[in-house]
């Protein structure tokens, strides 16, 4: 039987929002295992490294050049019979590295039922019939938009930003304010649904604004950001009521308008949480949750799908009616959008006196398709042993040097190397760096699927 350890060659997608040339971690990682005909072009944007079996950009075994999809379908033991049967012989997750230079679209991913409907109706724009809950882990400082703001914050911006209020209309804005007034933080289910209905109404009006009205309002908004940054989006006489830093808000709006002039996204910004993640921090996005990424390098894991419903900050196909109908309209503070990692219980660290800061942290969203473990081995010789699990894994190194051992097979590891580890295989990872202080950190991310213990979780909801 084949040893269940494969080094993978992974492809990189070039989208306009990607970081350019060598600045792109996605490009650098792709170059470490790419075929000889791949070289990084200095002026070309590189956005996403894809790791998995998705047919749009399948990974290949470096040695044989066979696709990972072919290999796991030929040998069900690599995935486990249960996972192979449940997910049609494909990996249930798609693992990515994103390098974000400028904002990528305001979007949501459909739930399973809607994905099937969209794919049947419009397979060109919706190439999959699967849902796409996803998780983001920051590798460098990250900025993004995630979920709707608390209602009191939305009300503040409707009152403090005249271009926004004019674009929506004072009557519509007033109806929203009256509908939620005094009940912004209520936990009563009936009241919360009424709040969501009010949010749906005002947000739909915004999204259906004419291009001419959006352009006029954007010019007024940017003018305010340029002329009055210290009081931008603040109510008269009281900057302290601003939910965010006025100067920072003004800078972000000018930056976004520079990337996408006269785009409705500059106003959607005031409805969504602006979230900043430090390296190692994460957020989880359920199906039908609105979001957009603004800048940074991230590890992303999602159900194996390429379905995106877009409505702003993009030259691609936009589907505003579908987006406004599909959203959950859940609203919550930023902290509730984050996903907290915990110690991973099925890994053994050999914590010597010089590597006691080593860690294996689990990011475990409430879905069955994937989880991710981030391992930091902080000194030469530090080691982590992962117990066998009843499912497949993909591992990428984002920092340092080391070795990976599965069975009787050992491979060298360096930044950008990607490996597939089959089901029921013990996996040992060792830091073999130089031993020269703080730069000797060896970091890997391990995406995996194991159904045990997740059967009762609700997929994407």
User: Which amino acids are annotated catalytic?
Assistant: 310
Tokens of 441: 């950190």
Collapsed DSSP state (helix, strand, coil) of residue 391: coil
Which CA distances in Å does 298 have to 25, 446, 447? 9, 14, 14
Phi, psi of 100 (to 5 degrees): -110, 115
DSSP string for 11-48: -EE--TTBEEGGG-HHHHHHHHH--TT----TT-EE-E
271 and 203 Cβ atoms separated by less than 8 Å: yes
Show the tokens assigned to 54: 């998705």
Left, alpha or beta for 443 (phi > 0: left; psi -120 to 50: alpha)? beta
Contact 162, 220 (CB under 8 A): yes
The tokens describing 309, both together, are 């419903």
User: Quick one: 170 exposed, middle or buried, by C-beta within 10 A (0-12, 13-18, 19+)?
Assistant: exposed
Query: Which tokens sit at 111?
Result: 């739930």
Among 425, 349, 353, 414, CA closest to 387? 425
- Rounded Cα distance between 198 and 212, Å, is 25
**In the 8-state DSSP scheme, what is residue 273?**
E
H-type helices in 340-407, by residue range?
none
Closest CA to 305 of 64, 440, 109: 109
Q: Which residue has the tokens 């991913």?
A: 109
**DSSP-based three-state secondary structure for 221:** helix
Rounded Cα distance between 19 and 26, Å, is 9
Residue with the two structure tokens 């996803």: 134
- Whole-number CA gyration radius for the chain: 23
H helical segments located in 51-110: 68-74, 81-86
């Amino acid at each position: 039987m084949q040893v269940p350890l494969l080094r993978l060659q992974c492809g990189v997608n070039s989208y306009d929002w990607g970081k350019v040339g060598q600045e792109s971690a996605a490009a650098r990682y792709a170059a470490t295992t790419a075929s000889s005909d791949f070289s990084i072009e200095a002026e070309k944007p590189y956005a996403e490294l894809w790791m998995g079996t998705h047919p749009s950009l399948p990974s290949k075994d470096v040695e044989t050049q066979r696709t990972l999809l072919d290999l796991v379908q030929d040998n069900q033991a690599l995935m486990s019979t249960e996972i192979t049967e449940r997910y049609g012989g494909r990996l249930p997750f798609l693992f990515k590295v994103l390098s974000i230079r400028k904002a990528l679209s305001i979007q949501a991913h459909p739930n399973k039922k809607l994905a099937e409907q969209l794919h049947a109706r419009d397979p060109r724009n919706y190439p999959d019939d699967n849902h796409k809950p996803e998780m983001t882990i920051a590798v460098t400082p990250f900025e993004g938009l995630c979920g709707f703001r608390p209602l009191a914050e939305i009300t503040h911006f409707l009152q403090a930003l005249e271009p926004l209020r004019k674009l929506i209309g004072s009557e519509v804005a007033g109806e929203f304010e009256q509908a939620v007034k005094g009940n912004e933080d209520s936990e009563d289910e009936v009241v919360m649904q009424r709040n969501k209905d009010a949010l749906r109404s005002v947000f739909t009006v915004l999204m259906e604004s004419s291009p001419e009205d959006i352009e006029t309002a954007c010019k007024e908004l940017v003018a305010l950001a340029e002329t009055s940054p210290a009081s931008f989006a603040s109510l008269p006489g009281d900057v302290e009521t601003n939910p965010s830093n006025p100067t920072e808000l003004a800078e972000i709006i000018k930056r976004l308008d520079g990337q996408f002039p006269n785009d409705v996204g500059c106003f959607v910004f005031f409805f969504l949480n602006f979230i900043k993640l430090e390296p190692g921090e994460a957020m989880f996005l359920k199906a039908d949750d609105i979001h957009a990424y603004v800048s940074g390098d991230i590890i992303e894991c999602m159900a194996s799908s390429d379905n995106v419903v877009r409505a702003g900050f993009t030259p691609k196909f936009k589907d505003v009616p579908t987006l406004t109908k599909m959203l959950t309209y859940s609203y919550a503070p930023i902290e509730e959008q984050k996903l907290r990692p915990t110690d991973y219980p099925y890994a053994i660290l050999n914590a010597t006196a010089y590597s006691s800061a080593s860690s294996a942290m689990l990011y475990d969203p409430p879905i069955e398709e994937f989880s991710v473990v981030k391992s930091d081995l902080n000194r030469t010789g530090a080691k982590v042993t992962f117990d066998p699990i009843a499912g497949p894994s993909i591992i990428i190194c984002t920092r340092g040097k080391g070795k990976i051992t599965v069975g009787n097979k050992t491979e060298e590891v360096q930044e950008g190397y990607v490996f597939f580890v089959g089901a029921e295989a013990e996996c040992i990872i060792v830091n073999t760096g130089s031993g020269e202080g703080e730069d000797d950190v060896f970091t890997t991310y391990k995406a995996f699927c194991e159904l045990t213990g997740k059967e009762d979780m609700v997929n994407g909801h």
